[in-house]
Structure 1
Amino acid sequence: MTTVLDRARSLSVPRWARPFLIALLLVLILAITVTLTGQTQLTSSGTAEAAVRLALPILFAGLGGLWSERAGIINIGLEGMMILGTWGAAWAGYQWGPWAALVGGLVFGALGGLLHAVATVTFNVNHIVSGVAITLLGMGLTKYLSTLIFEPISQNPRESPRLQGFTEFDVPLLSSGLRALEQQQRVFVSDLAGLLGGLVTGLTPVVLLGVLLVPVSYLVLWRTPFGLRLRAAGESPVAAETLGVNVVAHKYAAVIVSGGLAGLGGAALALNPGQLGYLENQVGGRGYIGLAAMIFGNWRPAGLLAGSALFGYVDGLQLRAGGEAVHALLYAATLLAVVVAVLWVARRRWVPAALALVGGLVVYGLYWTIDTVPTEFATYAPQLVTLLVLAVASQRLRPPAALGVEYRRGEGG
């Protein structure tokens, strides 16, 4: 028996390959669901393309939260910084074009981050109180500025004039080849082709920037002396100060970068091809969902990307296909719960396996008793998924040790 277990451990999957295997498993579950329910929108290229656009603002906001919280500053004000970013992007983009819109969103969001840094780092204001105040300030300030500047042009104080967007492009050959495979309607192959096809179709520089910032954030925060000092400020600021680290400067830098990234999330909303402009309340809680994606990812860039993709996918699915597709997603969730239960059984973890199985049975019972998810619930599917994911992931989270802890210069002296 010992020999068998030793061989099993020697055949364990390398760490770098696990995300790819998990992704393939999820595609297989979706492919089975499509075959059994007939809801082809679950794996269509259109759904994947919509998911990318909807995940972008969440990704930017989550990266902003990552930078701030790795330095020990809770940034619940991401929502307000995104709101400032949408207005700044619309104002700059209307005058100078889409690239200026990105810069405008970045600058306005960074100003919100600077205000949060002054409040929390310099004056030791409670991080939650400061974040809520910045969100309220962002909502009120953008409403005032929109009435002052946009209303004479658009004749509507709630929205800006239409902006010029980026030209969309596809990856040559790859996009057309995947589209051809998707149309063949082969189980798993066409499903995989549809999902991958949506990732290489209708791209813009904003999409490329969002994807690029994930590895850049990892390299800066985990592979540079600056990143090491910044994370030390979030783990043990007193110890970092005794080693000569300027903790205050690193916290300021982190929160300003955090605001700038959240502002880019607002710019991504303003430059969305379906919107192209500022619209009051268009952020719609995505700053909070970005924060949830960061927590789901355990304060790591790769996990954050996965969380953003999940929330963007659910949002895109409910927008394109409504309650019937979300209803089919319950079936997929049942299959996933069974797989998770089997994996726990293989590890001889009986309690988690039983909980996963019971959860799957409850979801399947819900799927069996209703024919479609009501529109009211389908609309809020991303928020419901956010709550569910955080509840499931809460047991494995490891936030920075000094997150939210007050710090005063000289404590390590």
Structure 2
Amino acid sequence: MSALLNNVMKNKVVRKFASPWRLALLVALVLIVISVVRRITGANDLTSAGLSSATLRFTIPLLMAGLGGLWAERAGVINIGLEGMMIAGTWIGAWFAFLHGPWIGFLAAAIGGALVGLFHGILVVKIGIDQAVSGLAINLLALGAARYLSGVLFIPNGGDISVSPMVQQPGYLTVPGISSWLLSINGKNIIILSDAAGVLAGFVTEISWATIFLLITVPLSTWILWRTRFGLRLRFCGENPIAAESLGVKVYRTRYMALAISGMFASLGGAYLSLVASQVYREGQTAGRGFIGLATVIFGNWRPSGVLAGSVLFGLTDALRVRQPTSIHAALLVIVILGALFVIWSITRGRMKTASITAAAALFIGFIYIKVPIIPNEFVTFFPNLATILVLVLLAQKLKPPAMLAVPYREREEGH
């Protein structure tokens, strides 16, 4: 009996610590590879504080869109309207920030996004309109409404039909002592150590308070969805709404709430674009980030931490696109080396199909690295889509979407 109890406790300890240790080892391995590549290629921007700071700025809008998609899909509804909700957030945030300051802009964007999400919920949950049709309608409606309202409100206040007046940004935080210490270590050019310091410096130097608050939504979403009764009921509605209703769960009400939260998150991501990433609303500012947010949900296997990882990856590609061209070329070599290591790991695990597909992708990227000295921006823009396709191909058996995702559901009538 004692031996069995010891085994149970040992398994619990292994489950608790194996994943963090694996993650730490993976991060260390990636950092070592990047450090070596930086030495070989001279692309010092790969581990600079500027690149990590830019990555963070590009990550937040994608993260909020991804979390919005996650909340909706965990309840069983696909939110194709994330792009429109982000557009609403960019416009509402900029207008109210112009009138009352950035934090009122964020608050107004959250409320407006929740209302748009609730409207989407009424269309697809109550009325029964196709989820994709409703989402696309919201995207078109938001785009048209933003342009119309810009002409009515922005032009008389010094803006344009496609650009808002300049707005005030939220405050920034630089951690005293730590920021300067990390930057000094980065300047000493010590292999690996200086690289790690450079990356970390970007996370503690001139970080917007909005960035910090929005990052908190990741652990908050994890706690609510997996540690509360409401989260359990919400996920139950996505897995088996009929069984959920038979146990007393109000499926319609739960999905309304999930879609309102989904719209709120997506709209906050849009407000971040107009209030932090820039100081104005611009037409087309979201640039399809709502759809990339849907890709991060798949990439992250419907988990907040996975959505964060996907958002960081896609944010990094955007950051590389606006930084030094040599960094993009060096990043390809990093991908090739990591791909080769993943092939070796897959072979040792007997996963030959995964190894062969990864090897083919690594060889293709290696060919581009050798033959194309300057990488076109179009290739970098396409990379998030390529990464999502590779995840679907390589990890299809491990992806676990909600069982009743996108399946129409009608509540039973009283007395039936």
Q: Is this a same-fold pair by TM over 0.5? A: yes
SS in 1 for 2:173: coil
Match of 1:370 in 2: 372
Q: Is the 8 A contact 1:54 1:316 kept in 2?
A: yes
* Residues in 2 aligned to 1:390 and 1:37: alpha-carbon distance in whole angstroms: 32
The one of 137, 147, 152 equivalent to 1:148 is 152
2:198 aligned with 1:203, yes or no? no
- The alignment's TM-score, normalised by the length of structure 1, stands at 0.93
* Residues in 1 aligned to 2:83 and 2:74: alpha-carbon distance in whole angstroms: 18
2:340 aligned with 1:338, yes or no? yes
The one of 7, 18, 25 equivalent to 1:21 is 25
Q: Is the 8 A contact 1:292 1:390 kept in 2?
A: no
Match of 2:313 in 1: 310
Match of 1:357 in 2: 359
The 5 A counterparts of 1:17-56 are 17-56=21-60
* Residues in 1 aligned to 2:87 and 2:257: alpha-carbon distance in whole angstroms: 21
* Residues in 2 aligned to 1:169 and 1:15: alpha-carbon distance in whole angstroms: 31
SS in 1 for 2:169: coil
Match of 1:3 in 2: none
AA partner of residue 112 (structure 1): V
Render the CA deviation track for 1:224-271: whole Å, top value 9, x for unaligned.
011101110110000000000011100000000100010100111011
TM-aligned CA deviation for residue 38 of structure 1: 1.2
- Residue-pair matches, total: 403
TM-aligned CA deviation for residue 175 of structure 1: 1.1
TM-aligned CA deviation for residue 222 of structure 1: 0.6
Render the CA deviation track for 1:109-141: whole Å, top value 9, x for unaligned.
112101110110001111111111100111001
Render the CA deviation track for 1:171-203: whole Å, top value 9, x for unaligned.
121111111111111211111111111111121
TM-aligned CA deviation for residue 20 of structure 1: 2.0
Report runs of 4+ in structure 1 exceeding 6 Å deviation: 9-13
Q: Is the 8 A contact 1:298 1:398 kept in 2?
A: yes
The runs of 5 or more residues in structure 1 that have no matched partner are 1-8
Identity of aligned residues (%): 42
Match of 1:282 in 2: 285
Match of 1:230 in 2: 234
2:175 aligned with 1:174, yes or no? no
* Residues in 1 aligned to 2:132 and 2:14: alpha-carbon distance in whole angstroms: 46
* Residues in 2 aligned to 1:90 and 1:181: alpha-carbon distance in whole angstroms: 39
Match of 2:327 in 1: 325
SS in 2 for 1:199: coil
Match of 1:265 in 2: 269
SS in 2 for 1:348: coil
Q: Is the 8 A contact 1:315 1:381 kept in 2?
A: no
Render the CA deviation track for 1:62-119: whole Å, top value 9, x for unaligned.
1111111100010011000000011110111001101101112112211210111011
2:97 aligned with 1:114, yes or no? no
The 5 A counterparts of 1:4-15 are 14-15=18-19
Q: 286-295 or 22-31: which moved more?
A: 22-31
Q: Is the 8 A contact 2:158 2:165 kept in 1?
A: yes
TM-aligned CA deviation for residue 376 of structure 1: 3.8
AA partner of residue 310 (structure 1): L
* Residues in 2 aligned to 1:329 and 1:199: alpha-carbon distance in whole angstroms: 20
Residue 155 to residue 362, structure 1, CA distance change in 2 (3 Å): closer
Match of 2:5 in 1: none
Match of 1:291 in 2: 294
* Residues in 1 aligned to 2:299 and 2:348: alpha-carbon distance in whole angstroms: 24
SS in 1 for 2:34: helix
TM-aligned CA deviation for residue 18 of structure 1: 2.1
Q: Is the 8 A contact 2:317 2:381 kept in 1?
A: no
Residue 269 to residue 153, structure 1, CA distance change in 2 (3 Å): same
Render the CA deviation track for 1:31-84: whole Å, top value 9, x for unaligned.
122111111111111000000011000111111111111000100110000000
AA partner of residue 377 (structure 1): F
Cα RMSD over matched residues? 1.9
* Residues in 2 aligned to 1:108 and 1:89: alpha-carbon distance in whole angstroms: 9
Match of 1:300 in 2: 303
* Residues in 1 aligned to 2:379 and 2:346: alpha-carbon distance in whole angstroms: 31
Q: 356-365 or 76-85: which moved more?
A: 356-365
* Residues in 1 aligned to 2:409 and 2:216: alpha-carbon distance in whole angstroms: 33
* Residues in 1 aligned to 2:114 and 2:76: alpha-carbon distance in whole angstroms: 18
Match of 2:4 in 1: none
Match of 1:407 in 2: 409
Q: Is the 8 A contact 2:67 2:265 kept in 1?
A: yes
AA partner of residue 321 (structure 2): Q
* Residues in 1 aligned to 2:333 and 2:239: alpha-carbon distance in whole angstroms: 41
Match of 1:5 in 2: none
Match of 2:81 in 1: 77
Render the CA deviation track for 1:292-319: whole Å, top value 9, x for unaligned.
1111110001111111111111111111
Q: Is the 8 A contact 1:121 1:248 kept in 2?
A: yes
